[in-house]
Amino acid sequence: MRVAVVTGAARGIGAATVRRLAADGWAVLAVDAAADDPNLPYPLGTKDELAAVAAEAGRMAERASAGEPRIAHRVADVRDPDALAAAVAEAQERWGVLHAAIGAAGAIAGGVPQPELAPATERALIEINLGGVLNLARAALPALLAAPQPRSGRFLAVASAAATRGLPLLAAYCAAKAGVAGLIRALAAELGDSGVTANAVSPGSTDTAMLAESARIYRLAAAEAFADQQPQRRLLRPEEIAAALAFLAGEDSSAVTGAVVPVDGGLAL
């Protein structure tokens, strides 16, 4: 049995990743702040959503594990290093080990040129999208490295097509996601031959609440308008991003490290 901590688990890509890992037989601690932020202009995930994801994933895990309890959830803000350290400790206490930490917590805001964005909103974007991954690495990497050799630990993050594309009116978001990509490459170099790898996925336009907020930022009628940006001419499903994360979290991805894998319907072409 492999064990993971997943942040941003109340909805979107994080929730889909919890469900996918559960179906694959993992034990998962699903983590989310589960609260709105006054500096962000749209509703974030809730405690009820987090509990519902954990309950659904728990039913899936029971089918994969003959009834052994393998899914738990915890409210923790990725901006709080102590809260993430406690989440990692809980996963270790429940299941004895940690094999993967997946940073999927994210937020978006913008709609104005960078100098006009409220400083508090800019800080929230940097602290959640980049700081949250840094904090997860600080909490989880020692646990991943504590496993005996031969290790197969995985540190994963969700970057974005915005990590490599300049998107107007989303400067802080682009900066944060570019930071995630740089962090992953640096961590891979630091981890070297430890048996722990560091990778990220870079989604394109994915059908989530964040994309709906992006549509509002750009004054589009609906998120579906983003589909034409991608050669596949459709929005991606969170489950498609989760499938890539599940592969990278598994033992078969041992030769992949320092990669930022585009899962974007061809957007990066």
pLDDT, tens only, 21-75: 999 999 999 999 999 999 999 999 999 999 999 999 999 988 766 667 799 999 9
Over the stretch 80-132, which tens digit does the pLDDT of each residue have? 999 999 999 999 999 999 999 999 999 999 999 999 999 999 999 999 999 99
Instruction: Report how far residue 235's alpha carbon sits from residue 128's, in angstroms, rounded to the nearest whole number.
Output: 24
Q: Which residue out of 130, 173, 230, 240 is catalytically annotated?
A: 173
> Would residue 42 show up in a list of annotated catalytic residues for this protein?
no
pLDDT at residue 44 in the model: 98
Which segments of 41-132 are extended strands (E)? Answer: 71-75, 100-103
Q: What is the pTM of this model?
A: 0.97
| Per-residue DSSP letter, 269 | -
pLDDT at residue 64 in the model: 67
Per-residue pLDDT averaged across 255-264, rounded? 97
pLDDT at residue 168 in the model: 96
| Across 38-42, 126-130, 226-230, 239-243, least confident range | 226-230
Fold that domain 3-263 belongs to in CATH: Rossmann fold (3.40.50)
Q: Where are the domains of the chain?
A: 3-263
Structure tokens, 63 = 């089918």
